[in-house]
Amino acid sequence: MRIAGLQTPGTPGDVRANLAELDRAAADAAGLGARLLITPELFVTGYDIGDTVRDLARADLTGPAAEIAARHGVAILLGAPEQDGNACYNTAFFLDEHGGLLGRYRKTHLFGELDRRYFTPGDELVHTVTYHDLKIALLICYDVEFPEAVRAAALAGAQLVAVPTAQMTPFEFVAEQLIRTRAWENQVYLAYINHDGSENTLSYVGRSSIVAPSGEVLDSAVHGTHLLVADVEPAVVAEAQRANPYLADRMPHLYD
């Protein structure tokens, strides 16, 4: 399956502008043969936008994105805030190519005061969706920095770990080094799709990438707006996990 990832500064606080950008990116991704488009963390609203994020979480953010997915025939992993009762979540919504909601993941590992001020942590370590025979695990930004989260995804059979991200300075090394390590140590594909530019108090590092189970970077961007594209092959994951059997060689009885 060909996948795409949109690295972009977006337009903080402007849902209409971000949906218009999503529409253009979905058209471009479909034109390149991609069947899935991954956006950054909280892409549709912006991440560091203060109390506005809670107000926007009450709006219908997935409906217009679902229409975009259906119009272009491409699935979308949408970063958006989600209001549920009194709780607000930092969520990734998986919309299939018909606009149907195939999965929803709420960020479990909250980063710093910015996350904790506005969001409630999710309670699901691993959330997977199966999309056209590809098993995809959903994580969000800081989640991927915990080896337990990616390992749990691999043990659940995920072949691709998709990570909408809002990674800021001075953590360039996470994007440059840790992401390749996570892919290698679990022998899975990993798509790490970040914001770029600046937003309120944050300067984003960009440095989005799609990485193979071998640790090879299949496509990447440092700064600017880019549409990353790469092919994900389940057979490559199966062979990589046979050749480098980290999962099979674990000694979990020693890890407790």
pLDDT for 256: 79
Q: DSSP string of 28-92?
A: HHHHTT-SEEE--TTTTT-SS-TTHHHHHHTS--HHHHHHHHHHHT-EEEEEEEEEETTEEEEEE
Tokens, residue 146: 């915990």
CA 195/CA 49 separation, integer angstroms: 14
Q: DSSP string of 200-220?
A: TTEEB---EEEE-TTS-EEEE
pLDDT for 87: 97
SS3 185: helix
With b meaning 16 or more CB within 10 Å and e meaning fewer, what string describes 121-153?
A: ebeebbbbbebeebbbbbbbbbbbbeeebbbbb
SS3 169: coil
CA 101/CA 96 separation, integer angstroms: 6
Read off the pLDDT of residues 204-247 as tens digits, 9 standing for 90 and up: 999 999 999 999 999 999 999 999 999 999 999 999 999 999 99
CA 88/CA 121 separation, integer angstroms: 9
Nearest by Cα to 211 from 234, 238, 235, 232? 232
SS3 225: coil
Positions marked active-site: 41, 107, 141
C-alpha separations of 102 from 77, 94, 130, 196, 250 in Å: 10, 5, 8, 28, 31
Tokens, residue 3: 């996948």
Tokens, residue 98: 């018909």
CA 190/CA 187 separation, integer angstroms: 9
Residue 37 corresponds to which amino acid? L
pLDDT for 141: 98
Query: Is the separation of the CB atoms in 53 and 26 below 8 Å?
Result: no
pLDDT for 137: 98
Residues of the chain with pLDDT under 70: none
Residue 56 corresponds to which amino acid? L
Domains in the chain with CATH codes: 2-248 (3.60.110.10)
CA count, 13 A, side-chain hemisphere, 245: 6
Residue 10's φ and ψ, nearest 5 degrees, are 65, -165
- Count other Cβ atoms within 10 Å, centred on residue 19: 19
